[in-house]
Amino acid sequence: VYLDILRNNNIFWLGSVLDGQGPLYWDGLGGNGGRTKPKFIKISASDGSEITNINVLNCPVHCVSIGNSHGLTISGWEIDVSAGDIGGGHNTDGFDISSSSNVVLKDSIVRNQDDCVAVNQGSDFTFSGLYCSGSHGLSLSVGMSLTSPEANTVTNVVFSNCTVVNSENGIHVKTHTYATTGYVKNVTYRNIILSGISNYGINIQEDYDNGGATGIPRDNIPVTDLKLIDVRGTVASNAMPVYILCGENGCADWTWSGVSVSGGSKSSSCNFTPNGYTC
């Protein structure tokens, strides 16, 4: 499904369901092999456009890809790929955003098997009132390009009043270790509730490599001015509350307050200490 929306146009899709027929494609591999799987919905929208009250079911792989969108508001969506939990769903990102600016995503629900939201590139994004279940968290995934520094930049992002439950990560900031240079600046997570997180409550890593970690962080994409305010909740028995792995000059000017993530059998691990927080 491709939505190319002109200036100041609104789409209200009440009661209908866009069914991606995911079980016909799922094989546990997602976009990493096996059957060819189409990304389900692609959105390109311009000034003042709104897309409201859309229900999405069983995406084959990445559910909603937002690109080349400037001045877009999305609200009242429900993405349900929970059948993929036992049906082989993989890489079923809720919302991926790149090459965009001034995007608002609010009051929506995502049940899936990958990032609830993944910001790849752009500026001035606001996410609020999201409920994420089964996901990999509220994420920044920066460093998609091996050659273009501009493609590896994210600035001015706010996540607020969101809940993440029964997911691998709560908050996840990942910079790609093999990418060219870039930067992440001025990102805020405020009033985030976590519950039943299986890997990391807060996971910030500068060694990301296609779903895994190299263990060797780099500072090719530094993360600066990262604020966490009133992030609280619990992780599962085998999880770690907070994990921070920064490259040598990869992290600066972080301020955290009211961060309280408990549980798990693994102590938090931080090679960088934010202002206002003790790891």
The confidence score (pLDDT) of residue 48 equals 84
The confidence score (pLDDT) of residue 128 equals 99
Read off the pTM.
0.96
The confidence score (pLDDT) of residue 21 equals 97
Q: Which of 80, 93, 96, 114 is catalytic?
A: 114
Report the C-alpha gap between 50 and 32 in whole angstroms: 33
Domain that holds residue 145: 2-270
In this structure, is residue 16 part of a structural domain?
A: yes
pLDDT tens-digit profile of 199-218? 999 999 999 998 789 999 99
The confidence score (pLDDT) of residue 210 equals 84
176 is a catalytic site residue: no
Q: String of b and e for 238-269 (b: at least 16 CB within 10 Å)?
A: ebbbbbbbbbeebbeebebeebebebbeeebe
225 is a catalytic site residue: no
Q: Which of 136, 172, 176, 207 is catalytic?
A: 136
**β-bridge partners, 157:** 125, 187
Q: How would residue 169 be classed by pLDDT, with cut points 50, 70 and 90?
A: very high
Phi, psi of 144 (to 5 degrees): -75, -15
Report the C-alpha gap between 206 and 209 in whole angstroms: 9
**What CATH number is given to the structural domain containing 249?**
2.160.20.10
Q: How many structural domains compose the chain?
A: 1
